[in-house]
Structure 1
Amino acid sequence: MAALIGTACVIAAATIDGISGQSGAEPTPQCPVEYVVAIPGTWEPAAVAENNPDQGMLGAAVAGLPAGIVADIVAYPATGFPWETEVYGVSKRIARDRAAALIETMALRCPNTRIGLLGYSQGADAAGDLAAEIGAGGTAIDPARVVAVGLLSDPRRAADDPLVGPAVPGEGAAGPRIGGFGQLTPVVHTFCLTGDLYCATPTQDFVTRLAGFAVRISEADPARAQDYQREFGHLWDALLRSGGPQEVLQQQWAHNQQWVQRLSDFHASGVHLRYATEPVADGMTPVEWTRRHLLACAERPMS
């Protein structure tokens, strides 16, 4: 059924502008047809965005949705460095837990409501992890309830994740999710603009990949020790295939200035901030495409 959901939503997304009332479930004041949880990115004004949905990268995707679709934006620390209020690992875990709690509450109260999950940057990291857990049957959320997952600049993008738009090299800076999205794979769509190193770190850039992995486990969960081991094994195997860690890292550090310059050029380019302005498919930006997709999934007849 999941594959049919994903296909039907995408086909309708190119033309639909609103909810026509022809969907198989009618909204009520308590139970919408579709419930969307969006997780903003690092340093985005999450507390402000919670009260003003048009703020932040995902604002245009969820603000002013038609009757029948309800959206919540997750407020969380959204920090990235140890000297801020929370380290990245803690911040992301809070985002994931709050998003899961919102979805579980709605799913319990409204058994026919469809679920959408969005994330940008650190928010995509958290949303993608939650989607992977749902898809693997590791939460109280029924995977069949989730009709759309949109990840913009996901630091854990895998090379084979369903990408909307032009192909990009490598994987996310924090390394891919081993095992993917399970049952949710057909409804997941990821967006990564060319040149965005957060979601498209070149395969041979092991300095960035190791740093990304270290940041991600900055507040390691002991219960996920096996996951961390598998993920580090994925990175270690890639190092071995490239000539071994000592040779590769020595070579890359020897070109340290080039690496620093590349990071500087990346930040100066502003590409990470262009997901609401740069078209990727059918003339639509990732934010526009995601909004259309949410509308289409709300229109899909109930099976």
Structure 2
Amino acid sequence: MGARKAKPRGKRRLPKLLLFLGLLAILAIILIVVLVITLLQPGPPRLPRIPGGPSTSETKERPDAQSADCPDVLTVVIPGTWESSPDDDPYNPSANPRSLMLRVSSALSEQFPSSRTSVYTVPYIAQFRNPTNLADRQADYNVSRTQGYKRAAGKIIDTNKNCPLTRYVIMGFSQGAVIAGDLASNIGNGRGVLDASDQDLVLGVGLIADGRRQPGEQNDIGPSPEGVGAEIALSGMRGIVPGITMTGPRSGGFGELQDRVQSICAPGDLICDSPTVTNPLRAASQLAGAINNPVHAMYATPRYWSLDGSTATQWMYGWASDVIDEAPRPKHN
């Protein structure tokens, strides 16, 4: 009876290799889903104002006065995920009474008359569908983020057309911070919304838990962690999950607006303080507790972020209040 032929060693290794690659793919998807679910969860204190540097762009010729119904300042507020709806009233938002940004916008509306600042809360889908749950009928993140951006940009464009002397303060939390930061990046780099000659009209930008945050690319306020935004950490995994595009760093950063952008990120908030994903196995271990991580929803308390006793929402209100109070007061017809 002849000896049994040994199976080629390469054939025995192939199933193990395929299994290993499959596990890596699953871990990568789990990592994205963990951040996806956290990203959609709910996101300013009082500090001396950090003045923005002057723009290097030449300002265009403007009229001496504008219409009486134009505010001196338009404050554009962009809520986070699950904190808005497409049909919400932008001047009296009620889609989510517990919206984090309401703590800032309501205080500003009470402090200033609408002639000084019109506070406009962008109504948009503000959803983030969980791709692992087939029963989840929410809108995809890409759809939600795009609608929020277009509506915020459209409001600024229309206001600038009718009110050429109006200035702007732009603020956002979480998904809203991504949108607000994208607006600031495009304006600051001359990519639209406002002409490059109108960059000086943007008085300040306030971001809480920005998913595209890069330390050092703006004024990092208070306790500032070394991690990056989730969209940067996961930018190498584009296209793995349909409807969710991790867009990576902003091209050109904030350009001319860099020193007018204030960013708050609590250490441990994986939306803005994520490790760069170079090793899916290690990253999966680091982010395993993301779903139950309470940091992202606690910016109205001093538990995870505070500065001189102020919470993130208190700081943002104080900063925006100072910026609006010191804004130019154009003449009106």
Q: Say yes or no: TM over 0.5.
A: yes
Identity %: 32
- Structure 1 contact 164–280 (Cα < 8 Å) conserved: no
Match for residue 38 of structure 1 among 58, 77, 86: 77
- Structure 1 contact 41–119 (Cα < 8 Å) conserved: yes
Deviates more, 1:115-124 or 1:49-58: 49-58
Map residues 45-194 of structure 1 onto 2, 5 A cutoff: 45-46=84-85, 47-48=87-88, 50=90, 51-52=92-93, 55-63=98-106, 64-67=110-113, 68-81=116-129, 83-141=136-194, 142-161=198-217, 162-175=219-232, 176-194=249-267
Structure having the larger proportion of residues in helix: 1
Q: In the aligned structure 2, how far is the partner of 1:301 from the partner of 1:146?
A: 10
Query: The residue matched to 1:130 in structure 2 has which SS?
Result: helix
CA-to-partner distance for each residue in 1:40-74, whole Å, 9 max, x for gaps? Answer: 11112445574336641110111124111111111
**Match for residue 280 of structure 1?**
306
Deviation at 1:130, TM superposition (A): 1.1
Deviates more, 1:154-163 or 1:53-62: 53-62
**Match for residue 226 of structure 1?**
none
Q: In the aligned structure 1, how far is the partner of 2:101 from the partner of 2:178?
A: 14
**Match for residue 10 of structure 1?**
50
**Is the alpha carbon distance of 1:131 and 1:160 closer, same or farther for their aligned partners in structure 2, counting shifts above 3 Å?**
same
Deviation at 1:31, TM superposition (A): 1.5
Q: In the aligned structure 2, how far is the partner of 1:296 from the partner of 1:26?
A: 23
**Is the alpha carbon distance of 1:52 and 1:91 closer, same or farther for their aligned partners in structure 2, counting shifts above 3 Å?**
closer
Which amino acid in the other structure matches residue 71 of structure 1? V
**Match for residue 3 of structure 1?**
none
**Match for residue 216 of structure 1?**
none
Q: In the aligned structure 2, how far is the partner of 1:177 from the partner of 1:144?
A: 20
Which amino acid in the other structure matches residue 207 of structure 2? L
Query: The residue matched to 2:205 in structure 1 has which SS?
Result: strand
CA-to-partner distance for each residue in 1:8-36, whole Å, 9 max, x for gaps? Answer: 9437xxxxxxxxxxxxx999851222111
Gaps of 5+ in 2: 1-46, 52-63, 233-248
**Is the alpha carbon distance of 1:100 and 1:271 closer, same or farther for their aligned partners in structure 2, counting shifts above 3 Å?**
same
Deviation at 1:301, TM superposition (A): 5.3
Over the aligned positions, Cα root-mean-square deviation in angstroms equals 2.7
**Is the alpha carbon distance of 1:95 and 1:45 closer, same or farther for their aligned partners in structure 2, counting shifts above 3 Å?**
closer
Q: In the aligned structure 2, how far is the partner of 1:123 from the partner of 1:105?
A: 20
- Structure 2 contact 73–327 (Cα < 8 Å) conserved: no
Tell me how many residue pairs correspond in the alignment: 235
Query: The residue matched to 1:268 in structure 2 has which SS?
Result: coil
Q: In the aligned structure 2, how far is the partner of 1:270 from the partner of 1:40?
A: 18
- Structure 1 contact 26–33 (Cα < 8 Å) conserved: no
Q: In the aligned structure 2, how far is the partner of 1:27 from the partner of 1:116?
A: 19
Which amino acid in the other structure matches residue 283 of structure 1? G
Deviates more, 1:137-146 or 1:48-57: 48-57
Relative contact order higher in (CA < 8 Å, ≥ 6 apart): 2
Deviation at 1:299, TM superposition (A): 2.2
- Structure 1 contact 49–59 (Cα < 8 Å) conserved: no
Which amino acid in the other structure matches residue 266 of structure 2? L
- Structure 2 contact 169–320 (Cα < 8 Å) conserved: yes
Bigger radius of gyration among the two: 2
**Is the alpha carbon distance of 1:79 and 1:119 closer, same or farther for their aligned partners in structure 2, counting shifts above 3 Å?**
same
Deviation at 1:97, TM superposition (A): 0.7
**Is the alpha carbon distance of 1:263 and 1:40 closer, same or farther for their aligned partners in structure 2, counting shifts above 3 Å?**
farther
Q: In the aligned structure 2, how far is the partner of 1:28 from the partner of 1:111?
A: 9
**Is the alpha carbon distance of 1:252 and 1:49 closer, same or farther for their aligned partners in structure 2, counting shifts above 3 Å?**
farther
